[in-house]
């Protein structure tokens, strides 16, 4: 079943020994549109600490109560490796998380190339369907990007629609029109040609008439 990823923002994460925090973001692979990690705020009152956990360690969401269970303990989560979820996650950071939590490596069949964020040229566009430059991106940061067809502006990215069974982003939820006459349209992620991180825009392969 497809659901809006925004519906899980603020959901409670339940560890094996009790509630640990709330989901505040997700990280997705900008090539495959696969959600790889959820970002959880495990901080105390007046403090904030975000940890990143693999969706493979999360049970199916309870959408009605906005709760997700995990097979990890509070202690495991609180002492997980630090990851800056507001920047692309490097392969070294993923390896550190894999080794700490014992997660399987999804990239075993991919050429293991590492491109730290500091080495990414400003203004570079990353093609979506290639086997190179594997990067994880913040859902929170991409929301609000302009969505462009081959012949002009379509609208603004409002949310992602995911297949809850496999954590795959199938559609972009795009708001079109002005504030008086706006509507939402669902655009398949297979239509995305590239994402320009410098220009904050998603480029589609098709013209507006098809959308």
Greater pLDDT, 89 or 133? 89
pLDDT in the model for residue 119: 39
Per-residue pLDDT tens for 90-122?
A: 554 555 556 556 655 554 443 333 334 443 344
CA atoms within 13 A on the CB side of 136: 26
pLDDT in the model for residue 128: 42
Task: Name every residue whose Cβ is closer than 8 Å to that of residue 208 and which is 6 or more positions away in sequence.
Answer: 149, 151, 152, 154
Per-residue pLDDT tens for 17-68?
A: 999 889 999 989 888 899 988 888 887 665 677 888 888 888 888 888 999 9
Q: Rg of the chain's alpha carbons, rounded to an integer?
A: 18
Per-residue pLDDT tens for 65-91?
A: 999 998 888 888 877 655 555 555 555
């Amino acid at each position: 079943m497809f659901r809006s990823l925004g519906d899980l923002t603020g959901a409670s994460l339940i560890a094996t020994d009790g509630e640990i925090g709330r989901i505040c973001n997700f990280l997705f692979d900008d090539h495959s549109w696969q959600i790889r990690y959820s970002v959880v705020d495990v901080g105390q009152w007046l403090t904030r600490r975000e940890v990143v956990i693999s969706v493979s360690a999360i049970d199916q969401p309870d959408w009605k109560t906005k709760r997700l269970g995990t097979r990890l303990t509070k202690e495991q989560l609180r002492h997980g490796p630090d990851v800056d979820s507001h920047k692309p996650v490097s392969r070294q950071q993923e390896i550190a998380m894999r080794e700490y939590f014992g997660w399987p490596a999804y990239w075993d069949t991919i050429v293991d190339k590492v491109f730290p964020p500091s080495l990414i040229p400003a203004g570079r566009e990353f093609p979506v369907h290639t086997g190179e430059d594997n990067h994880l991106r913040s859902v929170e940061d991409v929301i609000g990007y302009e969505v462009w067809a081959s012949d002009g502006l379509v609208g603004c990215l409002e949310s992602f629609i995911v297949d809850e069974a496999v954590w795959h982003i199938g559609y972009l939820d795009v708001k079109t029109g002005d504030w008086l006459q706006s509507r939402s349209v669902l655009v398949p992620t297979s239509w995305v040609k590239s994402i320009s991180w410098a220009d904050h825009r998603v480029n589609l392969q098709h013209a507006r008439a098809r959308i």
